[in-house]
């Protein structure tokens, strides 16, 4: 069969949580990636549309663009040199075992990623707790949407990013989009907002920058970074003052209103104007648009979530929905736009510090017994909850002496990154499984080259809670193994021969059993069903309401009859505004906020290696307002230094009137002198343990000529 006749393999993009459907067709060329992307218009979420990242994703499949064999650090030269798989796995197993024996099991850490498939996230959690016996496991998804997850749990009793399909967004009456730049982070999703407006709906965007997404808005609110909690409270205050609460809904379907109401009434509009910088008439206009519509939604993303008060901030937006009866009803509700490719599924199946598969709690004796039975171990041998991601990274070289890292690049993506890098360097032993030699992998004692999205089958769960199937379209290169093969090989060397299969479907079947009866119940989902139905929404138990096996339809819309709390009522959570962990002062008078750009993804380890993407956005920059630039004597394009209490970053200035004069913005995709996360503040939310990426105090300085040439 020649390439033109070869069947197209339906799969999904390796990058963000939209998980766009795409087809892969063999190129037939002996060189290059071996497949090319073709449209898959039948997949309902993106209907064939892809951004540049998805379209160019096969480039990294080409030999030469990726790691081709294991690397181990040579004791004599200190260099990473090629090794056989047996030698590399032996060395990893030896490093982990020896550390555990000498310093205790919790001296071994495991760090996962929100891009890992459900099968890998599940297997990694099991590997940590069963093969290593350590409690010290967490993952980079903690940096991504854990505040929304915590707020979901408090208010609704269940965390699923969107409790409705994305298509509902186009049919509601008004959307408040808080801290999301969809036009750059997931462009194919923008069309739901375009359709919303075509259908007569209204769009309010809350963002300190006038982004490409904010340009689409009927009303753009640009608060000072870190003040959107006050903004939500101010809007709720006006809702109450103007008599626009839905008393019937509040009485029938919620609890805790009086406390939340009292908290909101303490945030009167003029006070909120002073805190946020948003004029009272704009606040009133937002309330009018939101409440005049028959149905409305609030969607949040990293802006409100990546704060040391992220859980409360999301809670305040949820309170606004509940008070106006905009939750648990068709075309109304609150949702979180998850970021990473498997950000949703990755937080459900056990790589989180406090969690067992199926979104079960590690400190719940019933959950421990259920999962231990599936794993065929004594529940008493399962460790308890461990540390959150930043706390784990901060402990490296201290009581955590060895680390196995899979699918993450914290040297670029963690807050206070120079400190994290220093902690990683101080480890006794580091093993990294990755596709490329990322900045973190470059520090490892052993690097294990793993297969990519198009080379292995597995499931992901997109931002809607839709479980999807990525299919293997081609074989991995000879020197490369899958993550499941890596875990299986290591487990065998750690005397856990059984329980770590390499076949993804076998792992998924075990995951289904482990999740059965849990909040994120996948037990009724099979690979066949996903393929036939273009995804299945969880929860999907083994049996339907009539007790018939294998036919539960899944749950596209949650909470229509009851919320997932014990009494079925949503909970208002009383919250109050508080300042950011680090407010501007004389020494650091400007606010830094960070985020993503269209052509790059997360730490950039993959996208910086794709020529087209790199040409479009080749390096870091500092976005600042013309008034700030003029005051500091900085011209567009000149290098500028941004200094925080944690370090200094230098990048070219981009002078633009689309940002507040008191705020600068840096994308966080690059290592080196322009690394934005050198500056960011690791202050943690007390509930979600999410670091405050979105707000820190900095000063901005001209880079003098002598420094530029020196
Ligand atoms: Fe991939 Fe996200 Fe772009 Fe879709 S929007 S093609 S999932 S990166």
DSSP 476: P
In a domain, 462, yes or no: no
Distance between Cα 15 and ligand 1 center (Å): 6
Residues with CB under 6 A from ligand 1: 13, 15-16, 18-20, 46, 50-51, 53-54, 186-188
- One domain for residues 329 and 360: no
Among 304, 356, 342, which Cα is nearest to 115's? Answer: 342
pLDDT at 590 over 60: yes
- One domain for residues 309 and 266: yes
Distance between Cα 469 and ligand 1 center (Å): 15
Mean pLDDT of the 323-333 span: 96
- One domain for residues 328 and 185: yes
Residue 544, judged by CB atoms within 10 A of its CB (0-12, 13-18, 19+), counts as middle
pLDDT band at 1 (very low <50, low <70, confident <90, very high): low
Rounded-to-integer distance, Cα 531 and Cα 11, Å = 10
Rounded-to-integer distance, Cα 96 and Cα 104, Å = 11
Domain CATH number, residue 44: 2.20.25.90
pLDDT at 141 over 50: yes
In 306-463, which ranges are E strands? 333-336, 355-356, 360-361, 402-406, 429-434, 446-449, 458-461
The CA–CA distances, whole Å, from 532 to 10, 45, 455, 527, 662 equal 12, 16, 21, 9, 52
Distance between Cα 688 and ligand 1 center (Å): 27
- One domain for residues 400 and 362: yes
Of 50, 65, 80, which residue is a domain's last?
65
Pocket-testing residue among 180, 181, 187, ligand 1, by greatest number of atoms within 8 A of Cβ: 187
* Predicted local confidence at residue 2, as pLDDT: 61
Residue 579, judged by CB atoms within 10 A of its CB (0-12, 13-18, 19+), counts as middle
Phi, psi of 202 (to 5 degrees): -115, 150
Atom nearest to 46 CA in ligand 1 = 4
Higher pLDDT, 146 or 457: 457
Rounded-to-integer distance, Cα 231 and Cα 235, Å = 6
Atom nearest to 189 CA in ligand 1 = 5
Mean pLDDT of the 674-699 span: 97
With beta carbons less than 8 A apart as the criterion, state whether 233 and 264 touch.
yes
Atom nearest to 55 CA in ligand 1 = 6
pLDDT at 258 over 60: yes
H or E stretch at 667: strand 663-667
- One domain for residues 391 and 316: no
In a domain, 466, yes or no: no
- One domain for residues 208 and 295: yes
Beta bridge partners of 691: 684
Strand, coil or helix: 543: strand
pLDDT band at 404 (very low <50, low <70, confident <90, very high): very high
Distance between Cα 52 and ligand 1 center (Å): 8
- One domain for residues 322 and 181: yes
Domain CATH number, residue 431: 3.40.50.740
pLDDT at 626 over 80: yes
Atom nearest to 50 CA in ligand 1 = 6
Mean pLDDT of the 414-438 span: 98
In a domain, 92, yes or no: yes
In a domain, 635, yes or no: yes
pLDDT at 27 over 70: yes
Pocket-testing residue among 17, 19, 20, ligand 1, by greatest number of atoms within 8 A of Cβ: 20
In a domain, 567, yes or no: no
Of 305, 336, 367, which residue is a domain's last?
336
Pocket-testing residue among 47, 114, 188, ligand 1, by greatest number of atoms within 8 A of Cβ: 188
What is the span of the domain harbouring residue 417?
71-143+352-450+483-503
Task: Write down the pTM of the prediction.
Answer: 0.96
In a domain, 283, yes or no: yes
Higher pLDDT, 339 or 278: 278
In a domain, 222, yes or no: yes
H or E stretch at 313: helix 310-323
Rounded-to-integer distance, Cα 482 and Cα 449, Å = 8
Pocket-testing residue among 54, 57, 597, ligand 1, by greatest number of atoms within 8 A of Cβ: 54
Distance between Cα 657 and ligand 1 center (Å): 28
Residues of the chain above pLDDT 70, percent = 98
Domain CATH number, residue 597: 2.40.40.20
- One domain for residues 323 and 388: no
Rounded-to-integer distance, Cα 76 and Cα 274, Å = 62
pLDDT band at 710 (very low <50, low <70, confident <90, very high): very low
- One domain for residues 233 and 102: no
In a domain, 542, yes or no: no
* Predicted local confidence at residue 709, as pLDDT: 46
- One domain for residues 172 and 220: yes
Rounded-to-integer distance, Cα 220 and Cα 659, Å = 12
Domain CATH number, residue 283: 3.40.228.10
pLDDT digits (tens, 9 = 90+) for 108-126: 999 999 999 999 999 999 9
Q: What's the structural domain count of the chain?
A: 4
* Predicted local confidence at residue 31, as pLDDT: 85
Strand, coil or helix: 216: helix
Rounded-to-integer distance, Cα 123 and Cα 108, Å = 17
pLDDT at 643 over 60: yes
* DSSP string for residues in 262-288: HHHHTS-HHHHHHHH---HHHHHHHHH
- One domain for residues 598 and 696: yes
Residues of the chain above pLDDT 90, percent = 94
Average pLDDT, the chain: 96
Distance between Cα 188 and ligand 1 center (Å): 7
- One domain for residues 437 and 379: yes
Of 65, 91, 112, which residue is a domain's last?
65
Mean pLDDT of the 629-641 span: 97
Among 386, 545, 477, 377, which Cα is nearest to 60's? Answer: 477
Taking CA atoms only, the protein residue closest to ligand 1 atom 1 is: 54
Atom nearest to 57 CA in ligand 1 = 1
pLDDT digits (tens, 9 = 90+) for 329-360: 999 999 999 888 898 998 899 999 999 999 99
């Amino acid at each position: 069969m020649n390439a033109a006749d070869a069947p197209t393999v339906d799969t999904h993009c390796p990058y963000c949580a939209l998980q766009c459907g795409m087809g892969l067709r063999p190129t037939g060329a002996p060189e290059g990636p071996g497949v090319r992307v073709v449209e898959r218009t039948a997949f309902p979420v993106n209907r064939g549309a892809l951004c540049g990242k998805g379209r160019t994703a096969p480039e990294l499949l080409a030999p030469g663009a990726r790691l081709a064999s294991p690397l181990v650090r040579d004791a004599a030269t200190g260099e990473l040199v090629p090794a056989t798989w047996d030698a590399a796995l032996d060395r990893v197993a030896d490093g982990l075992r020896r550390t555990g024996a000498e310093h205790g099991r919790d001296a071994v850490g495991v760090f996962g990623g929100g891009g890992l498939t459900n099968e890998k996230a599940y297997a990694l959690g099991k590997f940590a707790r069963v093969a290593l016996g350590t409690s010290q496991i967490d993952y980079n998804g903690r940096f991504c949407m854990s505040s929304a997850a915590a707020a979901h749990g408090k208010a609704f009793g269940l965390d699923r990013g969107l409790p409705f399909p994305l298509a509902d967004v186009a049919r509601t009456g008004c959307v408040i989009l808080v801290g999301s730049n969809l036009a750059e982070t997931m462009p194919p999703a923008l069309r739901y907002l375009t359709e919303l407006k075509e259908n007569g709906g209204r769009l309010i965007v809350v963002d300190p920058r006038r982004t490409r997404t904010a340009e689409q808005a009927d009303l753009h609110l640009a608060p000072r970074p870190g003040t959107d909690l006050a903004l939500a409270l101010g809007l709720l205050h006006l809702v109450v003052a103007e008599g626009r609460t839905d008393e019937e809904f509040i009485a029938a379907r919620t609890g805790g209103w009086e406390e939340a109401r009292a908290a909101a009434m303490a945030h009167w509009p003029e006070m909120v104007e002073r805190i946020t910088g948003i004029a009272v008439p704009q606040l009133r206009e937002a309330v009018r648009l939101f409440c005049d519509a028959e149905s409305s939604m609030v969607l949040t993303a990293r802006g409100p979530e990546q704060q040391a008060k992220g859980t409360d901030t999301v809670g305040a937006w949820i309170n606004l929905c509940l008070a106006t009866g905009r939750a648990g009803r068709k075309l109304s509700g609150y949702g979180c736009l998850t970021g990473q490719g498997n950000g949703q599924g990755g937080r459900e199946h056990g790589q989180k510090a406090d969690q067992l598969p199926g979104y079960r709690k590690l400190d719940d004796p019933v959950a421990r017994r259920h999962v231990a039975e599936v794993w065929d171990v004594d529940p008493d041998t399962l460790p308890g909850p461990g540390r959150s991601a930043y706390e784990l990274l901060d402990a490296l070289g201290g009581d955590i002496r060895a680390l196995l890292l899979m699918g993450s690049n914290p040297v670029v993506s963690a807050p206070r990154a120079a400190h994290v890098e220093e902690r990683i360097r101080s480890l006794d032993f580091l093993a990294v499984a990755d596709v490329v030699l990322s900045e973190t992998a470059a520090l490892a004692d052993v690097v294990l080259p793993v297969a990519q999205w198009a080379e292995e089958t597995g499931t992901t769960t997109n931002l809607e809670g839709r479980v999807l199937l990525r299919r293997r379209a081609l074989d991995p290169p000879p020197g490369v193994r899958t993550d499941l093969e890596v875990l299986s090989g290591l487990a065998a060397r750690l005397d856990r021969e059984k329980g770590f299969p390499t076949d993804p479907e076998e792992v998924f079947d075990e995951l289904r059993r482990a999740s059965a009866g849990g909040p994120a119940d996948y037990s009724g989902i099979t690979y066949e069903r996903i393929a036939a139905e273009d995804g299945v929404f969880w929860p999907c138990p083994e049996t339907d309401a009539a007790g018939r096996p294998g036919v539960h339809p899944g749950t596209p819309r949650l909470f229509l009859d009851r919320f997932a709390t014990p009494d079925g009522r949503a909970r208002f959570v009383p919250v109050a505004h508080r300042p950011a962990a680090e407010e501007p002062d004389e020494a650091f008078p400007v606010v830094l906020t960070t985020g993503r750009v269209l052509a790059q993804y997360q730490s950039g380890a993959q996208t910086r290696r794709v020529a087209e993407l790199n040409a479009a956005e080749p390096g870091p920059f500092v976005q600042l307002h013309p008034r700030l630039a003029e005051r500091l004597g900085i011209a567009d394009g000149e290098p500028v230094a941004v200094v925080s209490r944690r370090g200094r970053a230098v990048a070219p200035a981009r002078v633009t009137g689309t940002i507040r004069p008191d705020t600068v913005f840096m994308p966080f995709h690059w290592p080196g002198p322009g690394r934005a996360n050198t500056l960011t503040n690791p202050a943690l939310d007390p509930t979600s343990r999410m670091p405050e990426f979105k707000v820190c105090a900095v000063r901005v300085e001209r880079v003098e000529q002598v420094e530029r040439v020196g």
